[in-house]
Amino acid sequence: MKNTLMGASLAIMAMASAAQAEDVVRIATEGAYPPFNNVTADGELVGFDVDIAKALCAEMARKCEVVAQDWDGIIPGLVNNKYDAIVASMSITEERLKAIDFTDPYYSNYLSVVTKDGSTVSLDTLGDVAIGAQRSTVGAQWAEDEFGSRADIRLYDTNPAAFSDLAAGRIEAVVIDFLPAAEFVKTNDGFGLAVDKIDINDKIGIGTRQGDDDLTAAFNAALETIRANGTYEAISVEYFGTDIY
């Protein structure tokens, strides 16, 4: 009888642990892409992506665990079950759809070109100078597609690394998404937008594992709700002063 009771207790505990695990959604973000995702001096992950992830989890009545993951490893980490989703301002591309699934878009993206103040670089002359971009991004792909071998395109692990080389004069321009470009220019003297908004029809979604249809559907339903009830707009206005959807 004692063994039977012990076995039953262990089974109940295992079921409770499994249920608890199902309530947790493990979400990865880069942590190096302000104001969308960044790590504070205290080691806290903050930003628009982080707040949207938490709002979606709250709507789904699930607990969020948000972790930082370097950009190059972020899709392999999802595929290998390190976490359940990616909320990191990731563009929905045909290439990525070969490896993972995406939710409906949660905002649209444009590209910009950041240069030092006084630079004469324009969209017409961009292919003639050294350009920096974060590797494996739509900005890097756009530069390659537009200029090919004509331009000196240098790829970086993070956008801050590209901006460091821009400040040091090792490159003359950085191709980056519009909103983080605007944030960088606003918070760093001596830089400006040589090109404001380049429309590349870029949609940003939440990455999920292929076949995890229930979680993808849950994210989509939660996104629709926070759009309707004003939560999304409030978060967006806090970071950007407007609704970026």
pLDDT of residue 11 exceeding 50: no
pTM over 0.75: yes
Top pLDDT among 73 and 14 is at: 73
* pLDDT (tens digit per residue) in 217-234: 999 999 999 999 999 999
Share of the chain above pLDDT 90, in %: 89
What integer pLDDT is reported at residue 228 of this predicted model?
99
**For the residues 87-112, what does the mean pLDDT come to?**
98
**pLDDT averaged over the chain?**
92
**For the residues 55-61, what does the mean pLDDT come to?**
98
* pLDDT (tens digit per residue) in 24-44: 999 999 999 999 999 999 999
C-alpha triplet 187, 202, 82: angle, nearest 5°: 80
What is the distance between the alpha carbons of residues 65 and 3, in angstroms, rounded to a whole number? 37
What does each C-alpha distance from 4 to 1, 8, 17, 18 come to in angstroms? 5, 6, 20, 21
Helix ranges (H only) for the chain are 2-23, 48-59, 74-79, 94-97, 138-147, 159-168, 178-187, 213-228, 231-240
Query: What structural domains does the chain harbor?
Result: 2-108+203-240 (3.40.190.10), 109-201 (3.40.190.10)
At 22, the pLDDT band (50, 70, 90 cuts) reads: low
At 149, the pLDDT band (50, 70, 90 cuts) reads: confident
28 DSSP 8-state letter: E
What does each C-alpha distance from 212 to 69, 166, 228, 242 come to in angstroms? 21, 41, 25, 32
Instruction: Output the DSSP codes for 49-88.
Output: HHHHHHHHHHHTT-EEEEEE--GGGHHHHHHTTS-SEEEE
pLDDT of residue 176 exceeding 60: yes
At 214, the pLDDT band (50, 70, 90 cuts) reads: very high
What is the distance between the alpha carbons of residues 43 and 40, in angstroms, rounded to a whole number? 5
What integer pLDDT is reported at residue 13 of this predicted model?
44
At 148, the pLDDT band (50, 70, 90 cuts) reads: confident
pLDDT of residue 4 exceeding 70: no
What is the distance between the alpha carbons of residues 211 and 101, in angstroms, rounded to a whole number? 8
